[in-house]
Every structure is written in structure tokens, then in C-alpha cells.
Amino acid sequence: MAGNLLFFLLLLKASFLSSGGLANLPSVHQDLISRQWAHEGQFVEALAIGQLAPGPTGLWVVALGYLARGPSGALLAAGAITIPPLLALPMDRLYRRLANHRAVEGFVFGLILAAAGSVMAVLAEALRSYGVDLATVLIFTASVVLVGRRILPRGFILLLSAAVGFAVWVPR
């Protein structure tokens, strides 16, 4: 049970220091891997499931909670990502003054930029752990173009990539 509480608090900390659904990834990754509460493969699985499921991308943590600790882990994760955004409720009235404060704006911008770099570093490492070959590069590039130009819905791109992965990498 002490493990559950710490698990919850680690996810809560990561969520409090993030902006956007994926920005908690680097912190969660570092904390759970170092304690051996989750392994690299589970992050990959959870991120894929998070994209497949409806709702915000931030729910990838719920999938990770399930894979690492079962249903209770999933519910703890859901709680941990729901609480921090609720700060918006008491701030609703203060907001106009606060948002125009330059220091606050700069702080949020810096947080977003640092998180963007950190997220890509963690994702690149996870991708490398699989081994990067020609098919990986092609799927990655196609995804950048299709998502970037909004050519296909994201769910469709994921299913297509799954089919390509199945065709290329399944052992015969």
C-alpha cells in the first residue's frame, strides 16, 4: 500500500510539473524505471494504447498504471492526472491579472519548451531500444508528414503503421 501511495505521488508530481498530455512522460519515466516499477516496453505499450483510446492523450498514464500495477494502478493514475488541472477552478477569477504578468507567461513558455525537448529525448530512446531500421524511419517520416499536414485522422495513421509493422517485423 505504501507503494501505491508513492506511485500516486510520483505521477502527481510529474503532472503538476507538466503542461499538456505528454509532458509528464520524462519525469514518470525516470521515477518508475529507476525503481523498476515499470520497464521501457511498458512505456511504449502505454503510449500506443493512449493514442488508440478515445479522450485526451494524457490518458496514456492510465494505460501505464494498468500495465504496471493492474486496475488499481490505472485508477491511481487517473486521479493523479485529474487533480493538477483543477487548479484552474480557483484561478478562474484571478486569471486576467495573472495571465498578463510577464513572469508567469515566461515561466509557462520555458516549461513547455523544456518539456518538448525532454519528451522527444525519452521517445527517441524508447524507439532506439527497439532498434531503428529502414521501416522505422519510413513509418516515422510518413507519420510526421501525415499528421503535420493533417492528411489522415490520427487513429487511421496508427492502424496503418500497425499493419506495416505487422507485415515487416513479424517473425516467420
Partner 1 sequence: MPRGVLTRSQGGPPRPTDVFLLWSKIGVKSFGGGQAVQFYAFEHIVNELKWLTVDEWAQLWGLSQIVPGVNVIAVCALTGLRVAGLAGSLAALAGLMAPSVAATILISAAYTQIAQFAGVHAALRGMFAAVVGAALVLNWRVGRPIVKAARARGRIALAASVAIPVVAAAIVAEQWVPVVDVLLSGAALMSALWIQKPH
Q: Does residue 1 touch partner 1 according to CB under 8 A?
A: no
Choice from 3, 4, 35, 107 touching partner 1 (CB under 8 A): 107
Annotate 101-139 with b (16+ C-beta within 10 A) or e (fewer). Answer: eeeeeeeeeeeeeebeebbeebbeebeeeeeeeeebeeb
Provide the minimum distance between the beta carbon of 164 and partner 1 in the complex, in angstroms, as a whole number.
5
Q: Does residue 153 touch partner 1 according to CB under 8 A?
A: yes
Provide the minimum distance between the beta carbon of 157 and partner 1 in the complex, in angstroms, as a whole number.
6
Radius of gyration of the chain (CA): 18
Q: Does residue 116 touch partner 1 according to CB under 8 A?
A: yes
Q: Does residue 37 touch partner 1 according to CB under 8 A?
A: no
Query: Contact at 8 Å (CB) between 46 and 63?
Result: yes
Q: Does residue 140 touch partner 1 according to CB under 8 A?
A: yes
Q: At what angle do helices 25-34 and 60-82 cross, to 10 degrees?
A: 110
**Site residues for partner 1, window 49-68 (CB under 8 A)?**
49-59, 62-63, 66-67
